Structures are given as structure tokens and as C-alpha cells.
Structure 1
Amino acid sequence: MVVQDNYNPYENLKYESLFCLTNGYLGTRGSHEEGTARSIPCTYINGVFDKSETFMRELANMPNWLTLKLYVEKELIGIENCDILSFTRALNMKRGCLVKSVCLRDRKGRETRVESVRFISRAHVHRMAVRLYVTPLNYSGIIEIENIIDGTVINFCDAPRFKVKHTYLTKNEALDESGAYLEVATRDNHLHEGCGTVVQAVQEGKDVVKTNVFHDFGEQAVEFLDFDACQGETAELTKYAVIYTEREVKKEALKETIQQEMKGFLQTGFEAEFELHQKACEALWKEADIQIEGDEELNKAIRFNVFHLMSTASESDSHVNIGAKLLHGEEYGGHAFWDTELFMLPFFAYTFPKKARRLETYRYHLLDAARGNAQKNGFQGAQYPWESADDGTEQCPDWTIEPDGTCYRCYVAVYEHHVTAAVAFGIANYVRITKDTDFLLHMGAEILMETARFWMSRCQYIEEKNRYEIHKVTGPDEWHEPVDNNVYTNYLARWNLRYVIALAEQLEQEHPEEYRNLAEKIHLTKEEIASWQQVQGKIYLPKKEGTQLLEQFEGYFDLKEVLIEKYDKNDWPIRPEALKTTKTSQTQIIKQADVVMLLHLLGEEFDEETTKLNYSYYEKRTMHGSSLSPSIYAIMGLKVGDASKAYRYLRRAAFLDLVDLQGNTREGIHAANAGGVWQTVVFGFAGLSTDDAGRLHINPKLPEEWKGLTFRIHCPESWLQIHIDGEQHVDITVLDGKEVDILVNGKAVKAHKADA
């Protein structure tokens, strides 16, 4: 349980993100049912984007289905309209629901207890519901109810400069004999979305609704109900909601589809649907739970990150990805970044491999758009956009507006080409973990070949130095842009070319028919592959002369040396005094893991001495201005033997959103950080890895604070449970599939069957 035990309106937006509920199809932020002054009430449907007057296509805020208001003699029973006698709200991660208990006193002294349960069904993803248990404590009388579907919602409702409305009204009417129905369409593509709601009021098993009237109030569908409330007696008010879009059914059939779904929902009932939902949640946790003995607080924080990450990935749709803020907030417009492949995909590949395949299939669906992006920018092959929405075009804006109205040119999409290498790396990593040859042959290989072509066209031959360079790029560290020969980018470009050269040879030998078909489709020749071989061997990889210290980019070592020496109460770096008088870009201070990210991804290319030297050097210069950074330093800290610092980094990452370390949790949950937290535990402290031959390795390094660690993973033919005790002993159980040999600290260990 993640608990909020007092009400502070200035924390509303943070808790709306923390308490957001998702089921892969849609997500609804944790707003209060009755509404509050400070609120960004959002329901996003995965994959429904719109541009309108904004800089980019972004997730369109759909009509708010949640609003349910209670009145006594025109007095709203709400946390901002009454005195709060008691308040508790909690996210129940195990059951996938949001619960609340409040006791309120209005200005006439009437006291009402309101308890609630809210869930977004994982069993039937178009269904959602909230139930209120309403008890008048010191009065009897008529309680009036407003069941509202609010179509007036906009994106960035609390940011005057950026406000935009992405939908227009098409229908506002009663759902059936009772209930409300609102239908809207997106402004650009005219994609229709329908929402239907029904409210039931029951006391001691009997319907107590006296009045039921529907009103069409502009863009709000409002159903009015009332009932007689008796002192000390509890009434159950249940709001059922159903949402569909034109992506699932024809627009002409939207209302009828929602009517039929609602009939099924009402027939099933709140309790039975909630039970089905909980079983679906239980199935997710069965795959992805992490159990730590010895640190309950940290364990809860890790589970928090796992909960939001696993809840947001689509169960069935390969045309959607995972936004950098999940479905929890507006920042980055719901766009997919390199975050998916490098931070989130490993979690899914090991715990939910079918979801991982869908995430990679998304990239294949948008391959033609990536080809068009490369051509537009004067390159060959496929160049994936820095920010990707539904159509694969670049969604990173060219200009950014500051709160004071000033504009500055945004060059991120122009220079951060390493996202294309990340897409390629993600495919290779997915195939290595899952052995999904079918995906490789029919989708992955084509992407990999086209990304190799991009890097070929991106490399520039410097004749006097007899080498290839990549100019005007930005690496993961965005505080230095653009630069020449970012070592991270150059290494990943070389890796991409090398991997594809070897892959072409492998496919030609092992899958000649599929390889021939692919080569014909994309006009791939042996001469072209030979040219890749020539270039990859001469790509410039800058480092300090006479040492193994990698230079983040050409000229980095000439910048002013500034080190991080102080940390705040949350163990977060304090900005060095020197940066008050010197621009960050003129110093060696960096935003996030750059060279250290390279060491993480391509660790097999660096010896122990090189890894330690570079980790130590760059760790003292990294501000962790991105949430993507702490988990990578935690993993690499363990690799170089800096265990205590690695544990600190894990805690920073795990609690990042729970304690709002960066002050922007209001914008949504940091999805890449959530994936990085899982990687830190499993790859870092458990020491799990898969080699190129597909063999699992475990080299545990549990911290002193932990008495044990248990988690589960999928490998190609088995589902395994791995337990590591406080003495670093490893026990591996085969829950399903074949018995396999695991290399534990370099020695082969046979996994045993669960009943053995």
C-alpha cells in the first residue's frame, strides 16, 4: 500500500500521478471523484494522439468519466468544501485499486463518512468503476447525486500558455433508459471515442434511487439522481463506466457496443468484476514480483515501480508503445523514446516476453516512417525519431517555449541520433534473451539492416586521418550539444554495423530462403555488406592519449574541470558553485550517464581496469539531471566493486517518484527509471545476465541489508524462480518448462523442478 494520510491541496498533482490506475488500454489519473481546485484530471487511451495547435502529436485527454458529486441541501460533500475530520487514501498495488476513507463536516455541522474503491479492470479493459460507501453520521435527509461525463477537459489545463483541446463533441445523450453517454472525436484525424456511465444506489440490497433525470449541458453529460439517506445507515453508490474508440469498432457502432458492454458489466456486477480484475493483477505479480528480505521500505518502493510499469504495457496492441511518463501525465505527450529499448524492454523480455515482442513490433510497423525520416534528413536506411507517437514521424518540437514566453531552438531531434542505435540494440537484446527467431527473420533483421545503412551514411571519412567520424551529434548527456565524435554514439554505431555483418552471414547460412527474400526486398548486396565491414573498422573512438580513459566527445577533456562534492538530504548531487559563473556546457559536468551508459551496454568490449577507471572519472562529474541516470550508476557501481554507492543509487532511483525527488512527479511516473530500478535489482544485485549463446549467468552481490532476494524470469524454454539468500547462495526452481543449466559464479548449476 502506498498511503496518503493527510490532505494537502498542493500535493494533489503528485498524488494524481502516484495513484493513477492503468490497464494497458487506458489510464486514469488519481483525481478525487468530486473534483478539486488543483487537479489535472486525465484519462488517456493508449495510442490516441492528436496535434491541433500544439507543437506535436500528443496523447489526447479524453472525457473524464470519473466525476461523481454528492450534495446535501445544495452543499457539496467534498474534501475542499467541508472540514476534514479524517482522511486516508491508498494505492493498493496488490489488488490494483485506489481506496479512500474520509469523514467530512459541512458548514451546517452535518458529518458524512465516505469510503471508496476504484479500479480499472484488467479482466475487461473497456470497463472501470468506482464505488462509494456513504454514511450520514449525525443526520438524515435527501442526498443528491451528479453522475457527470466531462467533455470540457483539455490538455495542460493548469498551464495557460500551453492549453489545448484535442476533441470536439459529437453526441451527448442518455445511455439507455438510465445512464449518460458522451461521444467525442479528435480534431485532426476525427477518431471517435465513446464513454457511457451508469450509477446505482443500493441500501441493504435494495435500489433506493428516487429520481433519475438526464441533462445535456453543453460538453457535459449529467445524470441527476437522489435517495433518502438515514443516519448511521450506509448506502452503496456505484458508478460503472465503459469506454471504446473507433480503433476497436466502427464509429456508427460505438454507442451500441458500449450499451452491450454496459449490460454485461451490470450483469456481472462490481464485486465479481473486481474479483476478475484482482485475479488478473495476481497473474501479473506472479510473473514480476520482487521479494526482498531485510528492507521492507525499499521493497515497497521497488514494487511501486514494477506495478506502474507492468500495468501500462498493452496486453494485445502492437501499434502502441510506452510513453516516457507512462499513461500517468502530460509531459512528453505520451511519446516513446530510447527509454523503451534500453530501460524498459529488458524487464519485459525476462518477465513478459509476449509484451516485449509487441513493443518491438511497434518499431517494425513504423519502419517505413523511419526510412522517410532518414531520407528527409539526407541519410540512408532508417532513422528512428527521437520522440515517436502513432505515425512514426518525428514528434520532438523544433522550438520550446519557456514559462516567461521566450523561445529557444530545440535541437534534440536534430542531433540525438543514438536513438536509432538503441532501437537496433533493443532488437538484438530481445532476440538474445528470448531466442525469438521468428521475430528476427520476419521483422527484426529488416530493421537492423536499415539502421546499419543509416550509420553508414552518418559516418564521414576523414582522409588525412584515415578514419570515419560522426559529427554534430548529442549523446545521452544533453548538456553538451552538438559535439563531434561522441564516444557513446560512435561505439554504438560500430556495434550496429558489426552485429548486422555477423547477422547477415548467420542468416545466409542458417535461414537461406528468408535471407534471400529479405535481401531482395531491401536490395541488399554482398558489396554493401563489405562496405560496412570497411567502415566499422575505422570508426574513431576518442580516448585520452596513453590511457584507457574514454573521452566523452572530442574536446571534452579541454573543458573546465568541475567536480560534484556535496549531496542534499535525499542523497542527490548539489549543483557545484562554479556553475553559477560558468555555463555547464563549458565544464565537464554532465547531465546523466553517457560513457558509463556505454560501459553498461557494451561491457564485454572493456576490460576491468578500463571500466573502473571510466566509472570513477565520470561518477564525480554526473549531476543525474535525468531520471535515467541513477540506475545505470548503481549497476555499474556493483560491477566495479563500489557496492555501498550502488545501494545509494538504487534507493535514489526507487524512491524518485514516491518522494518526488526531481519535483516533477506531477507530470507522470518516470517510466525509464522504473525499468532501471528492476535492472538494478536483477542485473546488478542478483547479477543476472544472458550471454550470446543464450546461457543464463548469475553472479550475486546482495547488500548487507538484505537477507534474501526472490524473483522470477522467463528464458526460452523455462520459467524460473531465483532465490538468493544473505550468504549469496543461489537456489533456482523450474516453475514450468525444461530443466536448464545456469552458470552461478561461473559454475554450472542444475535448476530443479518445483516439486522436486
Structure 2
Amino acid sequence: MNANNPCRSAPCARPGWRSRTGCAPTGRLFGSRSSLEGLTLWLLWLLACAALALSAPAAATDPSFLLTATARDFQSYFPTQLGNGYVATLSAPRGTEDNLAYMVAFMDYAKGDIARPAAVPGFSGIDYSTGHSPAGHFWLNQVALDPAVFQDYRQVLDLHEGTLTTRYRYDDHGRATRIEVVSLVSQASPHLAATQLSITPEFDGEVELSFPLALWAPHQPRFALARLTGEQMQEAVAASNLKLQAVPPATPDRAPLWYHGDTHLLAAHGDASALTLSLDGRAEQGLAMAEAVAVALPQGLVPGEARVYRSPWRLSIELKAKVRKGHTYVFGKFVALSREGWGGDAKADLALVRQAREDGFAHLREAHVAAWHDLWRSDIRIEGDPEAQRMVHSDLYYLLSNVSPGTAWPSGACGLTPGYAGHVFWDNDTWVFPALLLLHPQRARSLVDFRSRTLPAAQARAQERGLRGAMYPWESDPQYGTEQTPHFAHVLGEREIHVNADVAIAQWQYWLASGDEEWLRSHGWPVIRAVADFWVSRASWIPARKRYEILHVTSVDEDYNDVPNDTFTNVSARKALQLATQAAAVLGERPDPRWTEVAGKLYIPFDAKAGHHLDFDPSVPHDIDSWGGSSLPMLAYPSLDLPMDAGVRRRDYDYAMAPITQSHRDPNSMGLAPMAIYAATLGDAAAANAWFQRNRHAGVMQPPFNVRTETPNNNTGYFVTAAGGLLQTIEYGFTGLRLQPGGLVEAYPPLLPPTWHAFTLTHVALRGAYYDITVSRDRTGRVVLTRRPAEDTP
């Protein structure tokens, strides 16, 4: 906070209220002064607050939105992302490097391989040279990271503004330059990205700059993952002198399999006089794309030389310019990207960057920052735990950076990166979607509309297997919705079928939150109906037991790979069948009576003697030290939330705790949320908080930018699945709220972690209205939930 702001330290007019600027009138302004003096001070106070409000963009950002790297992080630097849900690029310490970049659902379909994200030409780089020093000619991006060379180093990710700012004094063998780099991927104009480079040389002379598009070489080696067995895959990796292990600080264990796909250059153009570049490309066996660059020079600077450089790996504008000691020179690099089905060609992108350059970096940044500020109206604000607040803001930032609004594109488990090959799992529907639903429904709708858009592919898949309805893939291609599970894991594509119920339940959750009957009829209902038909045809009637069973499935705990009656699967299937009947009633459609028949007689494994559910059929020994330990906590996950009495709920929790807490496997960040939420349904604030806090103490938040990894040691980063889980822990677990036909219902008593004073979900969207929902303690210490119309609702 700004210590010089007299209004920021003023007490608030009423408890729990904060104004937009932090200013509130207090009695201390008047004291015993005369009314005239008081009025004068009052007017001066108002003017001061108004001035501060007008200068808000320059004011210090809430520290919980700021993540900082220093020179101490050079050896352990885990890159962050800049993204807007359509385009994302990684970061690097100098702020000027060429970094890998990706576009939403832009995939490589190489023959024999699985679909994978095609890396588009890197647009983040700007290189700089101080010229020929006594030690030789060096480019900034090729100089080793050394605190003695990169002095006074500081890189700040501003989550509130979506910008990355890097500052340092670059000492090139005695020729030093003060450098500042500000980068963004526009949230307001999603085809645009930009970098502004400011240099202040401490010498007179000539410098060189390069503004490139990095043309990545085709990745080698490539493996035929659509064909190789598990053993063959292992052999191929070893034969390529690679290992399936994490390499610190940021290379995941499956990097040899999760390499990026290729974008092939079809045409490239450069104009040195106009300082522009443009290109057309195509992903391997995939869609077309385009990219363009426009360079902005410092006012009044005339470059001594400007040329276009092209090689098989680089297309760039190269400049030389004379500079004077102590003068600051500001350069801009504006980039536009598009892909088939989203935007135009290179000519259209060139027009975009020329206009952006004409408008200027400040204009683009202002609109971008305003768009981020608008997104942050919907937030989770915690009082009493700054580190938890920073973690929540980090997770929400990464979700907003990786999910596109108003489309029918999904979320990969690792967002817009090659993690898990960019494929779409149940993570999209059960982990990320509910986390966004209340706060950012436009982005949440994109995730469920993806399932509607790809329903024909799921129906074809079911038909190929002699089943009715729709069978969604375990790993979906984000563009076409086809099955993309590697061959060595193909059994998951056939057996981990709970994904179908997850898909249908998410559709219903969107209807409950939006109340949009037209959407339900056109989008949700066809999916829900098709999934219900699938379960009817997939369940088996067992005459001897007079019940339906679901056989040969992979459990949520995937080490149990061929089991009958996985409890989470059967409970989810039953709910999907019941929802189909409810959806039919809403729309006045005729339900299939078989939906009710199967749902009513579907077996749910339960130990009657011990009084708790089982993970799966009692015929299966529960004896593997697995990463999941037990899937029973998932029964309380908000979108499923199996009804049960308090005694069974407590016994289920206790039964599940032993294999989870005694496991020798790395804690998986995906599993922390179900445990916290389950404990919350029991009213156990201490246990719920302990599981929540493990998100920051289990080694799954990587410094310096709070990048969430799947486990502490596998370096599978940008794991938005677990980010969604953490946010759901607060949105549904700590509030006790559930989406039901009656609205957002207080299904369980709210709770507060012991160190928290309160927390608020701001600008919650529900059926066209907006609310602020606060959980706090009343005067007696009792935890209470209050909801009121959102403060900033028009």
C-alpha cells in the first residue's frame, strides 16, 4: 500500500466495508474544530481522495497480486505465463528471450502420433547488443545469467494487471545499460501482444537491436505414440538417450513425450522501411495460422541501419542506432496472431499491428489493464492470511490466462502448454469449470460448450463400440473432440469412463447457475440425454443379484485398472441418469424410463457391517500404495456431492484417511482439494484448513511465480486442474454452498480457517444477478455466511 496516501490508513466507516479507493470519512477529521474549519478540511480531504482515485493506475498494487523474482532465483527460475485464454507465452529471466508460445486448440496431427499443441513462432524476444566492447561482440540473450552482469535485478509479475516487468543494469564488460522490459498478452484485444523495451545506456556509442519471430525447428525425436506399446515407448525413449525424469528447475518428467508440435512456415515477408514482419504457417497436418510484427522506434530516433534478416530459424528486423549516455530510448514490439477459425491471415494481422503501433503501447496497455481490472471484480478476498490470498490470486490468474471466454474451446490439464499434450480430460468439467462458474461464467460456459460442440465425435465413438448415446474420450483433442490417449495408455480411454458422467453433470451445473433454458435446450440437453443413453447401454443387469453393475472400469485411482463397480463411477453414472430425467422435466421432454430403471437399481458398493462406502467392488483387494489412496473423498466433491447421513460421511472420511495419509507416493496437488472439501462437509475446520494449507507447504507451488505443479517432484507445471481444486475448496468447501435447483444453497455450515478473519466471494454471478458472499465470525465467534447485492453492480 502507498504509505503517502492519507486515505489508505483511514479507518472505515463501517466494519467489513472497503471503498474502491480505500477512502472513508471519519469523525477524527472534525474533532473539536469549528464547522467552517471542518468543512474546509472535508473539502480538502475529498480533493485528495479524488486525485488519488484518478491516479490509481500508478498507485502501488495490492501486494497479494505481486510475484517477484530476484537474482537469487536465476538457478531455480520456473517460468510464468502471459496469456489471455487464446494465446499464451512463457517467460524467461531477462524479459527479452525467445519463448515458446501457443494458441488455443492449435494442434499438430503428425502421422502415427497423438495430437499435440503446435508451437507458434515465438514473439516475445528482443535482443540487444552494446556493440563491440573490448571483450568482443555479445548479444544480451546469449550472456550467462550472472548477478554481477545483471545488476539490481528484479522481475515482477503483476497478477492484477497481467503484465511482466523486468528491470536490471546490464554490464557488458564496462559498457552498462539500464534496461526495463514490460510485456503483455492483451486481455482486451486478444489477437495482440506487445513488449516495450526501454534502454538507458551509460555510454555514448552505437547499439544493435533485433526484433525477431523465432521459427522453431521441427521437434526431434518424435515418437509414434498412437501406436507404441508401453514397453516400446520406454525403449524408444532410452534409445534416444532420454529419460522420463524431471530436470530442475522446470523440465517435467514426461518432457520426452510432451514435446511441442510443429508449425511449418508457408510464407514470410519483411519490410525494413516499414519495420514490419508477417508470416503464414500451418500446423503439421493441421490448421493454418498467421503472425505479424510491427516495431516502434523512440521518438526522434533515426536508425543508422535497418534490415530484414531471415534464416531457417529466425525472421527479424535488425537495427543499429547511435545513443547518448544518460538518455532513455523506448522501443515497442507489437505482435498479432490468428489461426484458422479465429481471426484472419498475415495481411489482416499486419493491419492489426500497424494500428496498434499507431495507437501506441500506452493505449494498448491501458485497455489491457482495464480488462484485467474488470475480471478482478470477481475475486476471492481473504482477510488475515496474506500468503493464502497470494496463492488464491495466483491460481485464479493462471485459470483466466488459459481459458478463453465466449467460445467453445476447452481447458487442457496444463492450460496452453504441452503438458499432457494439451489434451482435455475430466479436469475440464469437474475441476476447472466449477471454479470459474460463479466468478467467470463466460469462461465456464466455453468449457461446457466444448462438449456440446464435440458431441458428434462422442456419439460416433459410442457407436463404434456398439453402445448407445455418446462416449466421450478420456483424452480429447481440443479442436475436434477425438480420442487422443496414447496407445500405451489406451486402456484408460476404454475404461476410465466416469468422464462421461462428469461431462453431463457439468452441463447441469451450468443450467443451475445460469437459468438459461434456451441454452439447456440447445446445448446442455443433447449432451445430458446422450450420456444417459450411454450409461443405460454400458450398465449390465445381473439377474442373480437383481441389480445393475458397471464392469471393467478404471477407477479414479488409476492403479486399479480393471475393476467392477468403481464407487465414484457408479455414483456419478447414477447422478447423470437422474439429471437426464430432471432436464427432461424442465424442458417438457419425455424421459426414457430406462434412465430411472438403471439409476434406481445401480449397485453402489457399501460395507454394511462397517457402515461406510467402499472404493469399489468388495471382490477387489484395496492394497496398492497408489497416488490416490482412496477415491471416497470425491463423493463429496461439490458437483457430485452424494447425499448421506452424518455418520456414514464421518466413517467414509476416516476409512479413506488411512491409505491416503500412509501412502509413500508424492502428494498429488489434484488430491488436496477433495480432502479439504470433505473435511469441510464434516464441519472440521482444522482438518479442512490443514489440507488447504498443504497446497503451499507440499512443494507444489513453484517459485518465484507460484506456478502450480502436479506433484512436488515431477515439474508438470501450469497444472490448472489443481488450481481449480484449490479455488473450489473456498468457493464451495468453506462456504458450504452447493448449486441445486433451488439456487445456490447453504448445504453445509460455513467455516473459516482458524487464522482467517473473513473471506468474500465478490461479484458472484447467479441467474443474471450478482452477489458478494462473505463468511465471517459474528460477535459470539460463530461462523456465519451473508450475501448481498454486489457493490459494483450497475
- Please confirm whether the aligned pair reaches a TM-score higher than 0.5, indicating the same fold: yes
CA separation of 1:84 and 1:201: change in aligned 2, threshold 3 A = same
Of 534, 538, 545, the residue aligned with 2:597 is 534
Tell me if structure 1 keeps the 8 A contact 2:751–2:775: no
| Amino acid corresponding to residue 117 of structure 1 in structure 2 | V
Structure 1 residue 625: Cα displacement = 4.8
2:771 counterpart of 1:720: yes
Structure 1 residue 489: Cα displacement = 0.8
| Amino acid corresponding to residue 644 of structure 1 in structure 2 | A
Tell me if structure 2 keeps the 8 A contact 1:330–1:667: no
Distance in 2 (alpha carbons) for counterparts of 1:722 and 1:361: 27
Distance in 1 (alpha carbons) for counterparts of 2:387 and 2:619: 40
Distance in 2 (alpha carbons) for counterparts of 1:161 and 1:706: 42
Of 271, 277, 292, the residue aligned with 2:362 is 271
1:79-158 mapped onto 2 (5 Å cutoff) = 80=144, 83-106=149-172, 108-137=173-202, 139-153=203-217
CA separation of 1:434 and 1:47: change in aligned 2, threshold 3 A = same
Deviations 1:317-372 (A, max 9, x none): 22x11111111x31112222111211122222211223322321111111110011
Of 729, 735, 738, the residue aligned with 2:790 is 735
CA separation of 1:658 and 1:274: change in aligned 2, threshold 3 A = same
2:703 counterpart of 1:703: no
The corresponding residue for 1:178 is: 275
Structure 1 residue 602: Cα displacement = 3.8
Deviations 1:520-566 (A, max 9, x none): xxxxxx7xx22333222221211223232111112477444xxxxxx
Tell me if structure 1 keeps the 8 A contact 2:108–2:285: yes
CA separation of 1:282 and 1:598: change in aligned 2, threshold 3 A = same
TM-score (norm 1): 0.84
2:339 counterpart of 1:245: yes
The corresponding residue for 1:326 is: 415
1:550-629 mapped onto 2 (5 Å cutoff) = 550-555=613-618, 558-560=621-623, 584=624, 589=626, 591=628, 594-600=631-637, 601-622=639-660, 623=663, 625-629=667-671
1:355-374 mapped onto 2 (5 Å cutoff) = 355-374=443-462
Tell me if structure 1 keeps the 8 A contact 2:266–2:280: yes
The corresponding residue for 1:349 is: 437
Distance in 1 (alpha carbons) for counterparts of 2:293 and 2:600: 63
Deviations 1:616-641 (A, max 9, x none): 11122125753321011111111113
Question: What secondary structure, in the 3-state scheme, does the structure 1 residue paired with 2:775 have?
Answer: strand
Distance in 2 (alpha carbons) for counterparts of 1:367 and 1:311: 26
The corresponding residue for 2:683 is: 641
CA separation of 1:32 and 1:469: change in aligned 2, threshold 3 A = same
Question: What secondary structure, in the 3-state scheme, does the structure 2 residue paired with 1:286 have?
Answer: coil
Deviations 1:79-109 (A, max 9, x none): 5266232321121001110111122222x32
Question: What secondary structure, in the 3-state scheme, does the structure 2 residue paired with 1:628 have?
Answer: helix
Of 11, 14, 19, the residue aligned with 2:76 is 11
2:342 counterpart of 1:300: no
CA separation of 1:236 and 1:676: change in aligned 2, threshold 3 A = same
The corresponding residue for 2:289 is: 193
CA separation of 1:531 and 1:723: change in aligned 2, threshold 3 A = closer
Distance in 2 (alpha carbons) for counterparts of 1:677 and 1:324: 14
Deviations 1:430-449 (A, max 9, x none): 11122121111112111111
Question: What secondary structure, in the 3-state scheme, does the structure 2 residue paired with 1:392 have?
Answer: coil
Tell me if structure 1 keeps the 8 A contact 2:467–2:538: yes
Deviations 1:218-245 (A, max 9, x none): 2421211011122222211221111122
2:464 counterpart of 1:376: yes
Tell me if structure 2 keeps the 8 A contact 1:305–1:654: no
Tell me if structure 2 keeps the 8 A contact 1:212–1:226: yes
Deviations 1:353-407 (A, max 9, x none): 23322321111111110011112233211001111121111111112xxxxxxxx
Tell me if structure 1 keeps the 8 A contact 2:95–2:166: no
CA separation of 1:249 and 1:4: change in aligned 2, threshold 3 A = closer
Distance in 2 (alpha carbons) for counterparts of 1:231 and 1:156: 46
Of 687, 701, 722, the residue aligned with 1:657 is 701
The corresponding residue for 1:69 is: 127
Distance in 1 (alpha carbons) for counterparts of 2:371 and 2:481: 32
Tell me if structure 1 keeps the 8 A contact 2:259–2:418: no
Tell me if structure 2 keeps the 8 A contact 1:657–1:670: no
| Amino acid corresponding to residue 311 of structure 1 in structure 2 | S
The corresponding residue for 1:576 is: none
CA separation of 1:356 and 1:466: change in aligned 2, threshold 3 A = same
Structure 1 residue 504: Cα displacement = 2.6
Question: What secondary structure, in the 3-state scheme, does the structure 1 residue paired with 2:297 have?
Answer: strand
| Amino acid corresponding to residue 25 of structure 1 in structure 2 | Y
Distance in 1 (alpha carbons) for counterparts of 2:257 and 2:458: 31
CA separation of 1:292 and 1:694: change in aligned 2, threshold 3 A = same
Question: What secondary structure, in the 3-state scheme, does the structure 2 residue paired with 1:188 have?
Answer: coil
The corresponding residue for 1:631 is: 673
The corresponding residue for 2:743 is: 694
1:412-431 mapped onto 2 (5 Å cutoff) = 412-431=492-511
| Amino acid corresponding to residue 631 of structure 1 in structure 2 | A
Question: What secondary structure, in the 3-state scheme, does the structure 2 residue paired with 1:465 have?
Answer: coil
Unaligned runs of 5+ in 2: 1-65, 222-250
The corresponding residue for 1:28 is: 89
Deviations 1:34-92 (A, max 9, x none): 777xx9x3211112111215631121110001121111222122452662323211210
Tell me if structure 1 keeps the 8 A contact 2:293–2:333: yes
Unaligned runs of 5+ in 1: 400-408, 509-514, 520-525, 561-583, 737-752
| Amino acid corresponding to residue 476 of structure 1 in structure 2 | V
Q: Considering only aligned residues, what root-mean-square deviation do their CA atoms show, in Å?
A: 2.5
Distance in 1 (alpha carbons) for counterparts of 2:71 and 2:381: 29
Tell me if structure 2 keeps the 8 A contact 1:62–1:153: no
Structure 1 residue 754: Cα displacement = 7.7
Distance in 1 (alpha carbons) for counterparts of 2:581 and 2:777: 44
Deviations 1:712-745 (A, max 9, x none): 2111131011233343344433138xxxxxxxxx
CA separation of 1:64 and 1:695: change in aligned 2, threshold 3 A = closer
The corresponding residue for 2:103 is: 45
Structure 1 residue 257: Cα displacement = 0.7
Question: What secondary structure, in the 3-state scheme, does the structure 2 residue paired with 1:446 have?
Answer: helix
Structure 1 residue 270: Cα displacement = 0.2
Tell me if structure 1 keeps the 8 A contact 2:735–2:750: yes
CA separation of 1:155 and 1:666: change in aligned 2, threshold 3 A = farther
Distance in 1 (alpha carbons) for counterparts of 2:565 and 2:753: 38
TM-score (norm 2): 0.80
Question: What secondary structure, in the 3-state scheme, does the structure 1 residue paired with 2:68 have?
Answer: strand
Structure 1 residue 664: Cα displacement = 6.0
The corresponding residue for 1:569 is: none
CA separation of 1:290 and 1:461: change in aligned 2, threshold 3 A = same
The corresponding residue for 2:48 is: none
Structure 1 residue 188: Cα displacement = 0.5
2:478 counterpart of 1:478: no
